Amino acid sequence: MSDDKALYPPVDPVMTGIKGLCPRCGQGKLFDGFLKVKPACASCDLDYRFADSGDGPVVFVILIVGFIVVGAALWMEVNFNPPLWLHFLLWIPLAIAFSLGLTRMLKGILINLQYRNNARPGEIDRG
């Protein structure tokens, strides 16, 4: 007989992060608004003060969106040679939309991974 003392079943940090759900229960919302993290989970009362994603998600967003948008703009320039105003009309809104959507998803994933791996700020042990 198994004596499993887990109160909450393990959740997939990537899927719950993409959906913006609580890293412990997978039910409550992680965000209060678009990118602001709530103070605590409404379902399981997990305190989100541990959650500090910092600049991590933004670095990945810059790399991913930059690769996609610049690559597509170069491909379009070489194959169709559109006027400059059309480049602005296409790529600036696309880059903004991709950046905002991807930032929310990657921030959720990073916070969920912090909880899953019990990540804490670095401390110097001067023992």
Mean pLDDT of 17-30: 95
pLDDT band at 118 (very low <50, low <70, confident <90, very high): confident
Please report whether residue 104 resides in a domain: yes
Return the pLDDT at 1: 43
Q: Which domain holds residue 27?
A: 13-116
Mean pLDDT of 33-38: 93
Please report whether residue 3 resides in a domain: no
Please report whether residue 8 resides in a domain: no
Please report whether residue 124 resides in a domain: no
Quick: pLDDT tens for 37-73. Answer: 999 999 999 999 888 888 999 999 999 999 999 999 9
Quick: pLDDT tens for 64-113. Answer: 999 999 999 999 999 999 999 999 999 999 999 999 999 999 999 999 99
The residues near 93 (Cβ < 8 Å, ≥ 6 apart) are none
Please report whether residue 24 resides in a domain: yes
Buried-exposed string 99-112: b where 16+ CB fall within 10 A, e elsewhere: beebbbbbbbbbbb
Structural tokens at position 7 = 């109160």
This prediction has a pTM of 0.85
Count of structural domains, the chain: 1
Please report whether residue 69 resides in a domain: yes
> Is-contact 51 37, C-beta < 8 A?
yes
Of the candidates 6, 104, 103, 110, the one whose C-alpha atom is nearest the C-alpha of residue 48 is 110
Structural tokens at position 54 = 């910092």
Please report whether residue 41 resides in a domain: yes
Distance CA 111, CA 116 (A): 9
φ/ψ (deg, to 5) at 18: -65, -40
Please report whether residue 121 resides in a domain: no
Q: What is the dihedral of CA 94, 95, 97, 99, to 10 degrees?
A: 160
Return the pLDDT at 67: 97
Return the pLDDT at 14: 96
Is residue 25 over pLDDT 70? yes
Mean pLDDT of 22-51: 93
The residues near 32 (Cβ < 8 Å, ≥ 6 apart) are 38, 39
